[in-house]
């Protein structure tokens, strides 16, 4: 703002004097003449006064400008942080001593700034050479320390040409970063630990050694976590609440929760190995929220079969352990309670819908048939949601159409189910708990009454708030679970011969004719189905293969190659209608080769590569295929990878196997 004065500032006064002089001149010429003379004198005085004031003001401005330049120059040279001035191209024109110390140089004039500080270099070829434009406050690394970078640009004329100077100064943020890191490292993490099989272990121990066994379990858990600076509190006989800092949790994660192995090594007269599961929350949550999250992670760990730890990360779950086979529980109380609860839910629902996974197998369809029997026993409308048939269930559906035409008419598409489904109807998911893997995912949004019955290890994707949840990885099949629930739901389950055969076929296919995961309760379920009229010769008819299937399966086995000494890998070329089934069967047959402990077969259908994995249990195909977005069981798992390049997927699979073997994951 300009505060200097000029004659213009007195125009109003001079005009008034002139008007008065004219008025006086008209009234009295003598007085008018004197008024004109007075006006001229006043104007002259005002002019001289304004010039004198302006000269004084100009001198003050010049003096202030010089003082300001001196202060600015002194301030810049005495700034306690590094500063540097460059031209438009980033060539250093001037720098202070702090900058020279920072980049460990002396006379840096003429050097390019980006060579001294690489983080300031160009990020793309399009921007050309020089120093990139930084956002004020942006953090760059100089040496090993973080610095906030600020830039001021000055445009000016030099030798008649426009030029630009850039002033950079850097503020050390090490203290702030250290404080931020300390805050993160000391943020609290909550863990909930449960001994999976506490009752079974204690019951199996001799009476005289039970107190010693319980004390040993308690001692190992307390000793391990207290050595990690954690607070441990036992709030049930088999459950512990643990609070610790993130910085203390990190070594535990790095050693992959050694407590899992330490607990499993307990030998205090127990004939059953002790295992535990745990859920770990994210850091920085309120204690109540952290406890709820840790408890949810524990549910996931138990749903995956136990003997593992599930850690909640920012957007997913991290799994540790899971190397042991899921142990069959002796207590049938859960099956009875859930069976009665399911019967009550069906009683309250006008209609019952059953849905398996996409491309369903015998276990999914057999379990859905069992659900239809439960609905029929309650006098409810029942529907099976099925997109289309596939070779693995084609024979069963044909027999259903002939022997049970009313049941066959209950099979509807997802779109039709969406039209029929109402909010108070019940939807039962069988042999699957992942919404994206269902036959028709949109229908899950139409009702809140969703029941999950599954025998696969629980993954990170799960149905949101099911009203009833029965996920038991120890079970051989979903058909086993459904059969067991039916026996508790009704005194007489009233299965027809076809329904009994359908449920039996699900057990047979998932146990490989009672050779895999067939426990005591598996045979009890099979016995119940035999009493209901199941005929094994007719069940076998469901699995008969045609000539092309047998030839294709033989080609897969013939073309297999062995990697890592004991893992067979092969692929099924060509998009056959039953290629997924053939791949699974071929993976089973590859296990029959002497020395093979695990097998994988790949098959490409359209733009998806299907992988079938099988093992005897020493190698966890579940953990391997989980790394590729799949899942399943320790000895039987699968994955679907969206890709047009089966070779690339095979390389990805081999890498996943290699990473698994490097981690030393094996059954103990």
Sheet of 411-412, strand order: 411-412, 381-385, 351-355, 426-430, 450-454, 468-471
Residue 65 marked in a binding site: no
Residue 95 marked in a binding site: no
Distance of alpha carbon 602 from the chain centroid: 26
Residue 361 marked in a binding site: yes
Q: Quick one: DSSP state of residue 456?
A: S
C-alpha to C-alpha distance for 341 and 356, rounded to whole angstroms: 20
* Whole-number Cα distances in Å, 500 to 67, 375, 404, 526, 579: 101, 16, 12, 9, 28
Q: Which residues pair with 412 in a beta bridge?
A: 385
- Region at 373 (left for phi over 0; alpha for psi -120 to 50; beta for the rest): alpha
- Locate 264 and state its tokens: 């499993």
Residue 98 marked in a binding site: no
Residue 510 marked in a binding site: yes
C-alpha to C-alpha distance for 633 and 303, rounded to whole angstroms: 12
What is the number of alpha carbons within 13 Å of residue 344 lying toward its C-beta? 8
- Locate 645 and state its tokens: 């390049």
C-alpha to C-alpha distance for 296 and 609, rounded to whole angstroms: 32
Q: Quick one: DSSP state of residue 91?
A: B
SS (H, E, C) 548-569: HHHHHHHHHHHCCEEECCCEEE
How many degrees, rounded to 5, is the angle at CA 490 between CA 485 and CA 493?
A: 85
Cβ within 8 Å of residue 547, ≥6 positions away: none
* Whole-number Cα distances in Å, 271 to 209, 238, 268, 274, 475: 11, 18, 9, 9, 22
C-alpha to C-alpha distance for 10 and 135, rounded to whole angstroms: 51
For tokens 């009683």, name the residue: 347
Burial (CB < 10 A; 0-12, 13-18, 19+), residue 552, is: buried
* Numbered residues of the known binding site for Mn(2+): 357, 361, 363, 431, 455, 510
Known binding residues are 357, 361, 363, 431, 455, 510
């Amino acid at each position: 703002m300009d505060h200097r004065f000029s004659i213009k500032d007195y125009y109003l006064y001079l005009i008034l004097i002139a008007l008065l002089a004219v008025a006086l001149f008209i009234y009295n010429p003598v007085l008018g003449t004197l008024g004109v003379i007075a006006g001229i004198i006043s104007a002259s005085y005002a002019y001289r006064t304004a010039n004198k004031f302006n000269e004084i003001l100009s001198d003050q401005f010049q003096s202030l400008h010089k003082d300001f330049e001196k202060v600015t120059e002194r301030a810049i040279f005495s700034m306690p942080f590094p500063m540097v001035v460059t031209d438009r191209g980033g060539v250093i024109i001037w720098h202070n001593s702090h900058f020279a110390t920072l980049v460990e140089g002396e006379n840096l004039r003429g050097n390019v700034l980006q060579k001294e500080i690489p983080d300031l270099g160009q990020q793309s070829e399009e921007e050309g050479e020089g120093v990139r434009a930084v956002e004020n406050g942006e953090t760059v690394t100089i040496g090993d320390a973080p610095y906030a970078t600020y830039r001021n640009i000055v445009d000016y004329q030099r030798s008649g040409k426009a030029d630009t100077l850039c002033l950079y100064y850097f503020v050390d943020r090490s203290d702030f970063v250290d404080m931020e890191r300390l805050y993160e490292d000391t943020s609290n993490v909550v863990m909930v630990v449960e001994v999976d099989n506490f009752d079974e272990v204690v019951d199996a121990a001799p009476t005289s050694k039970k107190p010693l066994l319980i004390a040993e379990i308690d001692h190992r858990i307390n000793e391990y976590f207290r050595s990690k600076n954690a607070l441990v509190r036992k709030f049930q006989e088999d459950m512990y609440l643990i609070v610790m800092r993130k910085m203390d949790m990190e070594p535990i994660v790095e050693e992959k929760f050694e407590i899992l192995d330490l607990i499993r090594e307990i030998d205090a007269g127990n004939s059953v190995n002790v295992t535990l599961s745990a859920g770990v929350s994210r850091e920085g949550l309120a204690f109540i929220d952290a406890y709820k999250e840790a408890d949810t992670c524990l549910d996931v760990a138990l749903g995956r079969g136990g003997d593992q730890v599930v850690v909640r990360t920012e957007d997913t779950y991290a799994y540790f352990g899971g190397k042991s086979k899921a142990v069959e529980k002796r207590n049938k109380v859960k099956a009875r309670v859930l069976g009665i609860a399911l019967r009550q839910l069906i009683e309250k629902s006008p209609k019952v819908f059953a849905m398996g996974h996409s491309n369903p197998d015998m276990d999914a369809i057999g379990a859905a048939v069992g659900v239809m029997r439960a609905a029929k026993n309650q006098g409810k409308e029942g529907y099976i949601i099925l997109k289309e048939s596939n070779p693995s269930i084609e024979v069963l559906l044909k027999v259903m159409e002939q022997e049970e035409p009313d049941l066959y008419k209950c099979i509807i598409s997802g779109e039709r189910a969406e039209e029929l489904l109402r909010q108070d109807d019940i939807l039962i998911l069988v042999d699957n708990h992942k919404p994206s893997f269902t036959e028709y995912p949109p229908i899950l949004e139409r009702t809140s009454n969703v029941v999950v019955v599954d025998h696969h290890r629980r993954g990170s994707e799960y149905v949101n708030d099911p009203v009833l949840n029965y996920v038991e990885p120890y079970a051989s099949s979903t058909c086993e679970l459904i059969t067991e629930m039916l026996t508790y739901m009704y005194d007489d389950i009233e299965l027809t011969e076809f329904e009994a055969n359908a449920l039996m076929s699900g057990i047979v296919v998932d146990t490989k004719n009672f050779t895999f995961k067939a426990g005591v309760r598996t045979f009890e379920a099979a016995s119940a189905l035999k009493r209901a009229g199941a005929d094994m010769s007719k069940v076998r008819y469901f699995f008969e293969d045609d000539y092309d299937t047998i030839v294709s399966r033989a080609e897969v086995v013939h073309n297999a190659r062995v990697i890592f000494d004991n893992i067979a890998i092969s692929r099924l070329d060509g998009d056959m209608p039953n290629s997924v089934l053939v791949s699974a069967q071929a993976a089973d047959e590859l296990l029959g080769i002497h020395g093979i402990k695990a097998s994988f077969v790949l098959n490409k259908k359209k733009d998806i590569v299907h992988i079938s994995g099988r093992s005897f249990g020493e190698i966890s195909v579940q953990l391997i295929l989980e790394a590729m977005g799949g899942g399943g069981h320790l000895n039987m798992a699968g994955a679907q990878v969206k890709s047009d390049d089966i070779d690339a997927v095979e390389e990805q699979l081999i890498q996943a196997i290699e990473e698994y073997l490097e981690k030393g994951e094996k059954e103990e």
